[in-house]
A and B are shown apart, each in its own frame.
Chain A
Amino acid sequence: MEQNIIETDILIIGGGTAGCLAAVEVRERFPNLSVTIMEKAHIDRSGCLAGGMNAINAYLNPGETPESFVKYVRFDSCGLIREDLVLSMSELFEYCVKKVEKWGLPILCDEKGNYIPRGRWNIKINGESLKPIIAKAAKNAGTKVLNWVVASNYLVVDGRVVGAVGFSVRNGNMFVVKAKATIIATGGAAGVYKPNNAHDAQHKTWYCPYNTGAGYAMGIRAGAEMTSFEMRYIGLRVKDTIAPTGTIALGVGAPQINSKGEKFMATKYAHIGGDGAPTPYRSHGPLQEIKEGRGPVYLDTRHITSQQARDLKSAFLDMYPSMVLYWAANEIDPSKEPVEVQTTEPYIVGGHTQSGYWVDVNRKTTLEGLYAAGDVAGGAPYKFVSGCWAEGVIAAKQAGEYAQKNDFTEIPASLVHKEQDRAFAPLLSFTNKKDGIKAYDMEVRLQKIMEEYAGGAATYYEINEERLLVARRRLATLPDQFKHIIAEDLHELMKAHEVIDRVYVAQTLVEHMLYRKETRWPGYCTRTDYTERDDEKWLNFVNSRRDPDTGNIEMLTRPYVQIVPGDRYKPR
C-alpha cells in the first residue's frame, strides 16, 4: 500500500458547498498559503449540490436585515439558536451570492434586474450546474484537490489538529496530509435511521446519502465538543420521492390539508403561524393528523394554473429531476390533484437544524487548529446553501490567520500507523478471514436499533427514557463488532467507514436525546415523558464530549445568549 505524504498550509476536508467557498477565500485573502481539499467523491459533483439547486434559501431580500433574519430563525427554531453565529453568517449572504453569480450561476431577475424572491428569505436560481461552477472556482484559485480520498481521522498532536488521514477509493493509496490549520466541511449525516424507501430505492433519500457523518465522527473520536444533536431534522417532503416541499409550498403557496380537506395547520396551529409555523411544527402537525386517522396529508396545489404546474416542474428539474418523472410515471397532475407528503427519516444536519461542532463566532471548534463550516457545524440553523458558503468564508479567514502564526508539527509515526491499521482493517479482515459482517449488514442493524428505540418513523419519531436506554445498550455493542467488518474492495472499504462513522453519530445522538428532558421541537424530538417546552430549565444548549481515552460521553449545557431583542417566539 502506497503512502503519500502531503504538506499544505490549510487542509479542507469535504469539497462541497462550504469547502469550495472556503478554498477560494483562503487563496484570495492569503495568496501565500497553500490549500488542499480532501474529497471522498469528485468535487465537480459531490455532496448535497450534486443534483443542482433551484433556490438560495437564505438571503436578505429588500427590507430584511441580519437582525430580522435572526428573529425569524430564532422563531423557526423554537426560541433557541446561537444568535452570534446566525448574525455573522447572514452578514455575508450578499457577499457570497454576488461572488457565485460572478462565477456564472444564473440567478432569476425581474425586468429591473432585481432578484426574484420566493417567500421571505429565498431567491430563485437556475442552479442545475451550481456544483461544477463553485468547484471550478476552487480549482482556478489554485487549490490542490485530492478527489476520491475518504478522510478517516484527524491527526491530533498535543490536543492540536495538525492534519488528517484518508484513503483513496481509486487506488488504495493512503494520504497523510499535514496541515497548519484544518477546516472540516463534510456535511451532515443520512442513513443513521431506516430510510423512507427500501430495496433498490433505499437511497432515494432527501439528504445526500453519501454524507454519512464523517466530520461529526472524526470530531467525536478526537474529543471535540458537539452541540444539539437532539435537534434532528425530520423534514416534510413529497411522498415517495422525498423531494423538498419548499419548491411547492413557497413556490405556489400550497397549504397543508388532511384527507378530509381540512387546512389543519391554518386552524390548529394558527397561534404559531399556521402554515408558516416553525419548521418542526410543519412536520409535527401532519404527523398528528396521520396518527389520529386523518391521513394521507397533502399540499393543496389544486388552485394552480397549468402554467404554474409547468413552472413547478421546471423548478424541480433544476434540483430534483426525479420528482418530475415520478409525476409522469404515476399520471399525477399537480394542478388537478394535491401533492401527497410524508416526513423523512431523521437526519443530522447542522444547516437545517443545528447539530454539529460547538464553534465560536470564528467557526473555531474546541480543538486547536480545527475550524468547522456548513452542515457539520452546529448552533446556526437555517444555513442552507448561502449560510454554508458564509461559514466557509468565515472559517477560511480564521484558519488562514491561524496558519500564518503556527507552523507544521512533527507527526509521530505511531499515530499514522495506528490509523493505517484502523482504516484498512476491513480489507485485511476480508483477505484473512473471508467470513464477517458486510457494511450493509451493520448499516441495517444500526438503522433497526435507531428506528425502533430512538424515535424512528414507525413510532412517529417519539422517544422516551426507557426506549432510549435500550438504544444506548444495543449501540454500545456495535463498536466491538467493527473488527468483524469485511470489505472486498475499496468501494466497500468506504462503505465500512461510512457505517462506522454513523455508529459514533448515533451514540452521541442518543445521549443528547436522553439528556434534554423537555419537548422543545415537537416532531424533531418529541419526548412522551417530558411533553412540554421548559424554558426555565432547558433554555440552553445540550453539548457532549467523548473522552478519546475512555470512550465515555460527558454531557454538559451551555447558556443561550440573546443578542437581538424581542419576543423569541415571534417571527418579526
Chain B
Amino acid sequence: MPVIIHADKCNGCHGSNNPPCIRMCPGDLLMKDSKTGKILMRDPAECWDCLPCVKVCPQEAIEFRLSYQLGFHTARLLPHIHDTRDFITWELIDTKGDIDKFTIRTKILPVELDEKVEGVAPVDFSI
C-alpha cells in the first residue's frame, strides 16, 4: 500500500479537475472520484514510491507507506514543506514511535490548484 489518501483531509483542492497530486504523479496513478470529489489511487502495485504527490498536497492528505513486505507497521515518513518553500522537514517515526527529524534545503516552486488539459473534452472515451 505505497500511498494512502486520507479522505478526511483531502478537500479536492476546491473542485479542481487536475489538482497538484494528480499532476505530479509520473505514473498517472491518482484520479478523482467523480462522486466524492476526493482522490483515489488507481493501483497501489503501480506506485514507484517517489513521493511527489505526498510533498505537493497542501492539506498533507496523502501519506506514503512502504508495502508491508518491505517494512513493519507503523513506521512513517512525513514531509512538511516550510512556508518559505526553501526547506523541507522530514518527520521519521520508527516502529516504536520514536521520532527523528531532518531539515533539508530545497527550492519548492509554487503550484496552481488546477490546470487545463490540452485537447477537446471527449463525449465518450470509447471510439
Q: Residues on A close to B: CB < 8 A?
A: 1-2, 4, 40-42, 44-47, 50-51, 104-106, 126, 128-129, 131-133, 136, 145-149, 168-173, 175, 197-205, 208-210, 240-241, 310, 313-314, 317-318, 321-322, 324-326, 328-331, 424, 427-428, 430-431, 489-491, 494
Docked-complex contact A321 and B119, CB < 8 angstroms: no
Q: How far is the CA of A51 from the CA of B67 in the complex (A)?
A: 18
Smallest CB separation, A198 vs chain B (Å): 8
Q: How far is the CA of A431 from the CA of B125 in the complex (A)?
A: 11
Residues of B contacting A489 in the complex (Cβ-Cβ under 8 angstroms): 125
Task: Knowing A313-B102, A427-B127, A491-B28, say if A2 contacts B119 (CB, 8 Å).
Answer: yes
Docked-complex contact B70 and A240, CB < 8 angstroms: yes
Residues of A contacting B92 in the complex (Cβ-Cβ under 8 angstroms): 313, 324-325, 328
Smallest CB separation, B105 vs chain A (Å): 5
Q: Residues on B close to A: CB < 8 A?
A: 1-2, 18, 23-28, 42, 44-52, 55-56, 64, 66-67, 69-72, 75-77, 79, 88, 90, 92-95, 100, 102, 104-109, 111, 117-122, 125-127
**A330, A424, A430 — which one has the most chain B CB atoms within 10 A of its CB?**
A330
Smallest CB separation, A194 vs chain B (Å): 14
Docked-complex contact A241 and B48, CB < 8 angstroms: no
Q: Lowest 9 CB-CB distances: which A-B pairs, in order? A: A329-B71, A329-B75, A173-B119, A51-B50, A45-B52, A328-B94, A325-B77, A50-B26, A45-B24
A-B pair number, CB within 8 angstroms: 200
Docked-complex contact A147 and B27, CB < 8 angstroms: no
Q: How far is the CA of A198 from the CA of B67 in the complex (A)?
A: 10
Docked-complex contact A42 and B66, CB < 8 angstroms: no
Residues of A contacting B76 in the complex (Cβ-Cβ under 8 angstroms): 325
Smallest CB separation, A201 vs chain B (Å): 4
Task: Knowing A106-B107, A197-B70, A204-B70, say if A50 contacts B52 (CB, 8 Å).
Answer: yes
Smallest CB separation, A132 vs chain B (Å): 5
Residues of B contacting A147 in the complex (Cβ-Cβ under 8 angstroms): 23, 117-118
Q: How far is the CA of A314 from the CA of B55 in the complex (A)?
A: 16
**B94 nearest CB neighbor, chain A only:** A328
Complex A-B: 27 CB contacts under 8 Å: A4-B120, A41-B27, A42-B23, A44-B111, A45-B50, A46-B26, A50-B26, A50-B48, A128-B88, A147-B117, A168-B118, A171-B120, A171-B121, A199-B45, A201-B70, A210-B26, A210-B27, A313-B92, A318-B104, A322-B49, A324-B77, A324-B92, A326-B70, A328-B94, A329-B94, A331-B95, A430-B126
Partner of B26, one of A41, A202, A321: A41
Residues of A contacting B47 in the complex (Cβ-Cβ under 8 angstroms): 203
Docked-complex contact B107 and A329, CB < 8 angstroms: no
Residues of B contacting A148 in the complex (Cβ-Cβ under 8 angstroms): 28, 117-118
Q: A147-B23, A313-B92, A321-B90 are in contact. List 13 more A-B contacts (CB 8 A).
A: A41-B25, A51-B49, A106-B105, A129-B109, A146-B118, A171-B120, A203-B45, A204-B48, A204-B67, A325-B71, A326-B66, A328-B95, A427-B126
Docked-complex contact A170 and B102, CB < 8 angstroms: no
**B98 nearest CB neighbor, chain A only:** A328
Q: How far is the CA of A180 from the CA of B66 in the complex (A)?
A: 46
**A490 nearest CB neighbor, chain B only:** B125
**A1 nearest CB neighbor, chain B only:** B127
Residues of B contacting A430 in the complex (Cβ-Cβ under 8 angstroms): 126
Q: How far is the CA of A428 from the CA of B124 in the complex (A)?
A: 12
Q: How far is the CA of A168 from the CA of B1 in the complex (A)?
A: 27
Smallest CB separation, B126 vs chain A (Å): 5
Smallest CB separation, B35 vs chain A (Å): 17
Residues of A contacting B118 in the complex (Cβ-Cβ under 8 angstroms): 4, 145-149, 168, 173, 175
Docked-complex contact B125 and A172, CB < 8 angstroms: yes
Task: Knowing A175-B119, A321-B79, A427-B125, say if A328 contacts B93 (CB, 8 Å).
Answer: yes
Q: How far is the CA of A431 from the CA of B64 in the complex (A)?
A: 36
Partner of A200, one of B44, B94, B117, B120: B44
Smallest CB separation, A134 vs chain B (Å): 11
Docked-complex contact A330 and B50, CB < 8 angstroms: no
Smallest CB separation, A297 vs chain B (Å): 19
Docked-complex contact A326 and B119, CB < 8 angstroms: no
Partner of A431, one of B49, B90, B126: B126
Task: Knowing A42-B24, A210-B48, say if A129 contacts B71 (CB, 8 Å).
Answer: no
